[in-house]
């Protein structure tokens, strides 16, 4: 009878074949694991209705330095979503200062969602990344404890590549989002501030930049289920 097995298998004992098959399957699983990790799936959130109060917590990028108040990203986001977006940005704020301000903002506005975009001034002042991460985690935890949902916004890291106009998100934002299981808006500021036409200076957006940032943020809000349109 003709044997249609591969010649190598034909000369191999059945036990060896089974071992090789098992090793091959384990190799496939090992290769698939990192690929699955690369396709990070954001946590699903509860959709906010029109008119819901949203707190945008941050620094000068949130307050809108480089543009007018009505073209800062919280104002644009309010126009795009129909939410009431409170501009909680203070120019020059660090993560520690934003953390200190948060309790009164939560009490005053009782937001359904807090958008956290803070940390750039920590990096500019060469503060410890570990301290920034701790502050971010506390901000997100305190916001959730108030009953609000949280969306974390990644901030670019300082590097030689950043000086050349090639920006990338600081790794700690994805780490915090993964640890707390909260959605992350990535490559928003990195994408805007890497383009001369979208900047008012080296570290701030202009009106067109804030518009583009808000448009990208809306897409993340839809993907995570926070916004249904």
- Do residues 127 and 97 lie in contact, with contact meaning Cβ atoms separated by under 8 Å? no
**Of 45, 60, 146, 190, which is the active-site residue?**
60
Residue given tokens 């060896």 in the structure block: 16
60 in active site: yes
Q: Are 153 and 183 in contact (CB under 8 A)?
A: no
For this structure, is 201 an active site residue? Answer: yes
Q: What are phi and psi of 79, to 5 degrees?
A: -65, -35
CB 109 within 8 Å of CB 72? no
190 is catalytic: no
* Angle separating helix axes 73-81 and 207-224, nearest 10 degrees: 50
Spatial neighbors of 206 by CB under 8 A, at least 6 apart, are 66, 67, 198, 199, 200
Judged by DSSP in three states, 53 sits in strand
Q: What is the C-alpha separation between 136 and 90, in angstroms, rounded?
A: 16
Smallest CA-to-CA distance from 118 within 143, 141, 92 is with 92
Which residues are annotated as catalytic?
A: 60, 201, 204
């Amino acid at each position: 009878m003709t044997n249609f097995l591969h010649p190598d298998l034909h000369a191999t004992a059945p036990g060896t074949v089974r071992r090789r098959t098992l090793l091959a399957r384990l190799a496939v699983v090992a290769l698939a694991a990192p690929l699955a990790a690369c396709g990070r799936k954001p946590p699903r959130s509860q959709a906010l209705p029109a008119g819901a109060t949203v707190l945008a917590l941050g620094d000068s990028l949130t307050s809108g330095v480089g543009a007018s108040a009505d073209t800062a990203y919280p104002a644009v986001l309010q126009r795009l979503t129909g939410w009431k977006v409170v501009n909680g940005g203070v120019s020059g704020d660090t993560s520690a200062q934003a953390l200190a301000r948060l309790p009164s903002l939560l009490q005053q506005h009782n937001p359904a969602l807090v958008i956290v975009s803070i940390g750039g001034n920590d990096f500019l002042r060469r503060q410890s990344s570990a301290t920034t991460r701790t502050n971010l985690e506390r901000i997100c935890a305190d916001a959730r404890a108030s009953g609000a949902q949280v969306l974390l916004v990644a901030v670019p890291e300082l590097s030689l590549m950043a000086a050349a106009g090639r920006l990338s998100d600081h790794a700690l934002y994805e780490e915090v989002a993964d640890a707390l299981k909260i959605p992350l808006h990535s490559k928003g500021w990195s994408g805007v501030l890497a383009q001369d036409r979208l900047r008012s200076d080296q570290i701030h957006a202009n009106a067109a930049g804030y518009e583009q940032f808000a448009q990208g943020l809306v897409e993340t809000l839809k993907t995570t289920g926070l916004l249904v349109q």
